[in-house]
């Protein structure tokens, strides 16, 4: 029995999220149909993150077990032939049976993009949050983000519906850059709560627009109160960019 890890990218616009849902197009559904067509029987299918409807990925990871001896380069080519154009397998490797796409991860990197101008652009706003006005102040947003770096209890930034009991997470890097009309935030951490990145970005846009002070980010964080925040940023700007795993020879202790 082989354990195979796949790295893939997708445009989540036309899917009802990653996880299979009845009578809805999903990323997992498309992947499982492709796997059945290529390897036949497979088991222990798992993903690093179950992204929401409309969320995209540049470096999602899945893993599964199968007995089929197909070479990995042939597996990639054959699966891509059976996948919709919006999903593409980038890489494949055999991993130990103990590998789990989600549980074995030691960190994730998300990117969030904002298109900050009055007029939209179909080729951009499909993949970014269109914030028309005001012109967002990047300095204020960076200051607000600085309060969130490090190890904190992020209960205030978790949306309802999460069943996770431990809400402490460690944000190891948080960088915001503007290039012309696009603001790109890159946030890396050891893990993220339900809607955590989108809730953070929704609050930072309020900071950048002058509707909330940067210092309030620290106050909201300390409150652990979700009602202190407004609605989350929309899904179209969010990208699962990379999932990190220990180096093969790393000492787990």
CA neighbor of 58 nearest in space, from 109, 13, 5, 104: 109
C-alpha span between 212 and 202 (Å, rounded): 11
The CA distance from 226 to 111, in Å, is: 22
User: Annotated catalytic, 52?
Assistant: yes
Query: Which structure tokens are listed for 114?
Result: 């904002």
- Give percent helix, percent strand, percent coil of the chain, each to the nearest 5: 25, 30, 45
Q: What are phi and psi of 4, to 5 degrees?
A: -120, 130
How far from 185 is each of 95, 122, 128, CA to CA, in Å?
Answer: 32, 21, 11
Helix (H, G, I), strand (E, B) or coil at 140: helix
Question: Going by C-beta distance under 8 Å and a sequence separation of 6 or more, which residues neighbour residue 16?
Answer: 24, 25, 26, 53
List of residues 6+ apart from 130 with CB closer than 8 A: 115, 120
**Contact criterion met (CB below 8 Å) for 135 and 115:** no
Which residue in the list 14, 43, 52, 225 is annotated as catalytic?
52
Q: What secondary structure does DSSP assign to 213-236, as a single string?
A: -THHHHHHHHHT-GGGS-PPPPGG
Residues marked active site are found at 52
């Amino acid at each position: 029995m082989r354990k195979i890890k796949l790295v893939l990218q997708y445009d989540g616009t036309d899917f009802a999220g990653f996880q299979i849902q009845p009578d809805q197009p999903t990323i997992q559904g498309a992947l499982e149909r492709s796997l059945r067509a290529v390897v036949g029987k497979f088991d222990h299918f798992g993903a690093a993150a179950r992204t929401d409807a409309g969320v995209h990925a540049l470096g999602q990871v899945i893993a599964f077990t199968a007995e089929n001896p197909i070479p990995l380069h042939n597996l990639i080519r054959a699966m891509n032939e059976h996948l919709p154009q919006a999903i593409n397998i980038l890489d494949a490797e055999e991993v130990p049976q103990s590998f789990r796409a989600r549980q074995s991860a030691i960190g994730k990197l998300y990117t969030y993009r904002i298109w900050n101008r009055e007029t939209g652009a179909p080729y951009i706003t499909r993949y970014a949050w269109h914030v028309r006005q005001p012109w967002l102040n990047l300095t204020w947003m960076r200051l607000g983000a600085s309060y969130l770096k490090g190890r904190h209890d992020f209960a205030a930034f978790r949306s309802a519906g999460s069943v996770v009991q431990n809400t402490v997470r460690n944000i190891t890097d948080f960088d915001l850059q503007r290039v012309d009309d696009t603001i790109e935030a890159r946030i890396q951490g050891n893990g993220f709560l339900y809607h955590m990145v989108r809730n953070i970005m929704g609050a930072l846009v309020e900071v950048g627009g002058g509707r909330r002070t940067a210092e309030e980010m620290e106050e909201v964080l300390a409150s652990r109160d979700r009602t202190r925040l407004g609605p989350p940023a929309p899904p179209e700007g969010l990208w699962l960019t990379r999932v990190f795993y220990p180096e093969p020879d790393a000492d787990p202790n």
